[in-house]
Amino acid sequence: MSEEEKKKLKKFSATTPRKRFFKLAGMSAKIAGKVTSSAVKGVFRSAESKDEEKEKLLLDVGLQIAETLGEMKGAVMKVGQIASQIQDLLPEEIASSLQTLQKNSPPMPFEVIQSQITSELGSGPFALFETFDPEPFAAATIGQVHRAMTFDGKDVVVKIQYPGVHESCDSDLKHLRVLLKLGGLVKVEKEILDNVFDEIRQILYEELDYEHEAENIRLMREFHMHDDKIVIPDIVEEFTSKRVITLIYEGGDNLEEVSAANSRYSQETINGIGDRLFHMVASQIYKLNAVHCDPHPGNFAFRPDGTIVVYDFGAVKHLDPKMITEFQQIIRSAMERDYVGIEEGLRIRGIRKTDNIELGEEFYKPWLDILLKPFSDHDTDFDFGESKLHEELVRNAQKNMLKNIGMFQPSPETMQVDRVVSGHYWNLMNLGVKAAFRKNVDYYMSLEQKIE
């Protein structure tokens, strides 16, 4: 083993709860030192100089957190990914640094992956497969994917869970929670932070069980079996366990390769992909009552005939039909500009806190003016590629923050669905979809749920 390989192996050596604890503790100590030093120096600085120093500090802290979490994988990296997506959870400088975790996760050394396969399947990769590529095909939060060929000629991908991730999940979450509160880095109330961590913990423990993911794949393959333009890779059972899952390889272009500038994808094809993506997610929610919960663009591939390939079914949220019915009523009220109905529906769901204040048209209209733009007309396309909805929502939130702070709270049951909807907004935007979705919304809002 070369010196470079030894250094890389040491870099990713935090594979036990004890080692992971000390790695997080070391990062926390360094950050605490920087925060304290900055506070002391700030006593002697002007207000302008303090602002500059704070911005520099937050950028430095963000980069350090991103680098450490990227090396550690697992629970802490998942927290970093989600934290970077949730507006107002962290200062902008730190959130922007954590965005790197959404893109390229640094791969684990092959020696670690090889050992994990042997532990799970009883033999090493070169004994189990005719060919096995030591170079990772993809590196994600809790597992790494490698291309391989079985002895009977199947082209497959093998996802291997990083060692120590499952055993360290709870301790990672507890320690990172302390870290995010350090120096006032977290911007939200304790209750919201608790909800975020509860959601992440639930997601992680489901994703950490690859046999559970296999069950999700079977469920979704059966549900979408009549749509040949939605492809979900099949499972290779003999090479699947709790920590390793093997799937038939299904290729396609990543999101960045799909654009009207690419001669293989016309605008009409892109619009069709957007429509199919809408129906795929909506039908899962309103017909299956279970939805693929990771809208990360890396979990989707596309083909010039309009096909969508969907990967990674570790996180599938099963939904209560009663909750769905209540949200259908809220959405119908929003489409009809029924402000009383919106207020009543949000109170039933517990999103509007109990108080004697009634929020009506003055409060809700500016939000609906923004949110309903893609659904305002049955025939006029909305150009997601040129959308500024996210910027308008931020401005409206900032404008109303002080006046209405404390009147709303997140719904723990729908936090994952909220992430699905917001994540696919970005996917539609980055694809450059132009579509009129009003008729789609009307259809799914008319579906009656079976409440037992």
DSSP for 141-192, written as a single string: SSEEEEEEE-TT--EEEEEEEPTTTTTTHHHHHHHHHHHHHGGG---S-HHH
Q: Which of 24-38, 42-56, 153-167, 321-335 has the highest mean pLDDT?
A: 321-335
Domains annotated on the chain, with CATH: 3-101+170-194 (no CATH), 109-161+209-250 (3.30.200), 253-452 (no CATH)
Residue 58 has pLDDT above 80, yes or no: no
Residue 1 has pLDDT above 60, yes or no: no
Distance CA 322, CA 426 (A): 28
> Over the chain, what is the mean pLDDT?
81
Q: Which of 138-147, 227-236, 262-271, 377-386 has the lowest mean pLDDT?
A: 138-147
Residue 68 has pLDDT above 90, yes or no: no
Task: Determine the pLDDT at residue 404.
Answer: 67
Task: Determine the pLDDT at residue 8.
Answer: 46
Residue 221 has pLDDT above 90, yes or no: yes
Task: Determine the pLDDT at residue 358.
Answer: 86
Task: Determine the pLDDT at residue 13.
Answer: 47
Task: Determine the pLDDT at residue 374.
Answer: 94
Task: Determine the pLDDT at residue 407.
Answer: 81
Task: Determine the pLDDT at residue 44.
Answer: 43
Q: How confident is the model at residue 124 (pLDDT cuts 50, 70, 90)?
A: very high
Task: Determine the pLDDT at residue 416.
Answer: 81
Residue 242 has pLDDT above 50, yes or no: yes
Task: Determine the pLDDT at residue 349.
Answer: 86
Mean pLDDT of 218-230: 97
Distance CA 220, CA 217 (A): 5
Task: Determine the pLDDT at residue 335.
Answer: 95
Render pLDDT for 71-89 as a digit per residue (tens, 0 to 9).
655 555 665 555 555 544 5
Q: Which residues contact 94 (CB under 8 A, 6 or more apart)?
A: 58, 59, 61, 62, 65, 185
Residue 265 has pLDDT above 80, yes or no: yes
Distance CA 235, CA 222 (A): 13
pLDDT > 70: percent of the chain: 69
Mean pLDDT of 152-176: 82
Count other C-beta atoms under 10 Å from residue 182's C-beta.
14
Amino acid symbol at 407 = M
Task: Determine the pLDDT at residue 96.
Answer: 58
Q: Which of 106-110, 117-121, 232-236, 343-347 has the lowest mean pLDDT?
A: 106-110
Q: In terms of DSSP bridges, do strands 300-302 and 308-310 run parallel, antiparallel, or are they unpaired?
A: antiparallel
Mean pLDDT of 180-198: 63
pLDDT > 90: percent of the chain: 48
Q: Which of 19-33, 291-305, 389-403 has the highest mean pLDDT?
A: 291-305
Distance CA 110, CA 118 (A): 12
DSSP per-residue string spanning 354-373: S-S----HHHHHHHHHHHTG
Q: Which of 308, 311, 239 is nearest to 280 (CA)?
A: 308
Residue 355 has pLDDT above 50, yes or no: yes
Residue 140 has pLDDT above 80, yes or no: no
Q: How confident is the model at residue 376 (pLDDT cuts 50, 70, 90)?
A: confident
User: Encoding tokens for residue 289?
Assistant: 């009552």
Q: How confident is the model at residue 10 (pLDDT cuts 50, 70, 90)?
A: very low
Q: Which of 162, 156, 299 is nearest to 239 (CA)?
A: 156
